Amino acid sequence: MAARDVLRDWLVEALRTLGGSATVIDVSREVWRAHQRDIEASGDLVYTWQYDLRWAATNLRKEGRLAQNKRGEPWRLT
């Protein structure tokens, strides 16, 4: 079962798979492709994972691991 805290790792993994930069939708698709079973087996996370993924991105930005961006711009690893 996946927990909310793994989303940070999944987000970084997805961005690496996608070449280091991608739109939120493409990141979400990649996370779903790679971790659909984990998400579905996680209980309530299945209902909140996309929202939680955005919070994970916010926290990664605060740590300097994700570049600052404007709304609608791709997410990019630093």
Query: Would 53 be classed as within a structural domain?
Result: yes
Query: Would 12 be classed as within a structural domain?
Result: yes
The angle subtended at Cα 76 by Cα 65 and Cα 38, nearest 5°, is 80
Query: What is the full DSSP assignment across 56-68?
Result: HHHHHHHTTSB--
pTM confidence score: 0.92
Query: Would 33 be classed as within a structural domain?
Result: yes
pLDDT digits (tens, 9 = 90+) for 29-69: 999 999 999 999 998 999 999 999 999 999 999 999 999 99
Query: Would 1 be classed as within a structural domain?
Result: no
Query: Would 61 be classed as within a structural domain?
Result: yes
Q: How many domains, the chain?
A: 1
**In Å, what is the CA distance from 36 to each residue of 9, 47, 53?**
15, 12, 14
